[in-house]
Structure 1
């Protein structure tokens, strides 16, 4: 092969954008959020996830993980909510990022935690544990959520009280949102629960649902999900997804997908 042929060989396009870190917020020693610049060509539906990563050390392959996009589809920047794993291949490094650093961003967002995958109804339950709150930060700021449903109920379960990241956002700040502030005041409910510390509400979601307390606390008719009116999204650990999916189906709801909308959806491609 001649040197000219080598020079003319096409350069393979990278599957990633290289985006700048705009800000970092550490909630606890286990949780943090960060914002990235958004490429002009990057499009996604609220609730989707994308691959996030850092270049490999010593010239190795990039280290990547799937992350739900926590900002709404119309936002000018991209927000993410992450755990910190001391020995994690990615988060052990990602938790140390600073504004101005570069993070790899995948070019193809995808996922099933989107409004398109649900049939119409009256109430939308967004139920997540830990960083499984992330997609609800996107969906709950999407005007379509409030136009399609009379009530939007964000349910967040954590182990300790200080892990209720974004609590102030759901109880106050979202009311000042330029697009959905008025709708959030009238239609949004925030339902936090803690499992390992005293709190106004304690217990796992499966127990709160089985006992009927979740429905009583929210002032809803009946003490189980209504397959005709309730639509549900789930995000959290694999055990949480498995247990909640079985419980929801015992109430008569059917899982949906992008190809065939249903009564509830979960994300099988990744956890948390």
Structure 2
């Protein structure tokens, strides 16, 4: 076979399918020296459930460097949004923080996760309890019309170290309550409660302490967690996940899953310290 014929034969072979989507970065917003969000193009074939996560990364010297990121945009958005920390020396985030519009990031093709309404039984009130970048999956959920049909009230809590670190969730809630699709429902049904742990403010303290003392419920005009009516989703630091899970179990909440819905679900797969 001649070289020309061999080249033609190679060209006719089907291309090896990639395990990742290569997505163009559309915009990047830095909130603090440790937090930023970015939006990328969305493949036409990509489908996910609000609250799920995917693998996001960049090409490495030998293989891609990947970490789990919750999709922060709603399922109906034409773009995909992600919210990230910047960890000094982190294998991925130390590079990812420098992306600019026009750059390319990698995304896995299979979304998954437990922070989905399918993993919960019907209820009246949905608590979305988060710390740090753990608010990302809830950024997707509170912009879903179905969530306001399933629950009479949706309570989003976000606890960070400083007020500056609350900027993402504050902007998120403001946009949601003015959104053409869910704004009317969110304005009536969405309750936002934030707190800080390293600064003085109107609401200071860890969310676990505010739940235990009852301060959270006093400030939002609600009652203590009750598995008969309340459903809980938790996403944050490992210590926060452990403590809130134990608190819910002590109150007879049953942990749910995609296979067996329950009263509460937790998610450990999000970008945390050491990334």
With normalisation by structure 1, the TM-score equals: 0.94
SS at match of 2:115: coil
Q: 1:118–1:231: 8 Å Cα contact kept in structure 2?
A: yes
1:140 paired residue number: 142
Q: 1:238–1:271: 8 Å Cα contact kept in structure 2?
A: no
CA shift at 1:237, angstroms?
1.2
Aligned residue pair count: 268
> Runs of 5+ in structure 2 lacking a partner?
none
Report the RMSD for the aligned CA atoms in angstroms.
1.8
2:95 paired residue number: 93
2:133 paired residue number: 131
2:239 paired residue number: 239
2:249 paired residue number: 249
Encode CA deviations 1:183-236: one digit per residue, 9 max, x unaligned: 001000000010000111011111111111111111113xx2111100010001
2:258 paired residue number: 258
Q: 2:67–2:271: 8 Å Cα contact kept in structure 1?
A: no
CA shift at 1:268, angstroms?
3.6
Q: 2:58–2:105: 8 Å Cα contact kept in structure 1?
A: yes
Please, which of 71, 79, 82 is the counterpart of residue 81 of structure 2?
79
2:210 paired residue number: 208
How far, CA to CA, are the matches of 1:165 and 1:246 in structure 2?
A: 29
Encode CA deviations 1:77-134: one digit per residue, 9 max, x unaligned: 0000000011000000000000000000111111110111111101000011000000
1:41 paired residue number: 45
1:175 paired residue number: 177
1:20 paired residue number: 24
How far, CA to CA, are the matches of 2:101 and 2:180 in structure 1?
A: 26
How far, CA to CA, are the matches of 2:243 and 2:154 in structure 1?
A: 22
How far, CA to CA, are the matches of 2:83 and 2:205 in structure 1?
A: 23
Q: 1:56–1:62: 8 Å Cα contact kept in structure 2?
A: yes
With normalisation by structure 2, the TM-score equals: 0.93
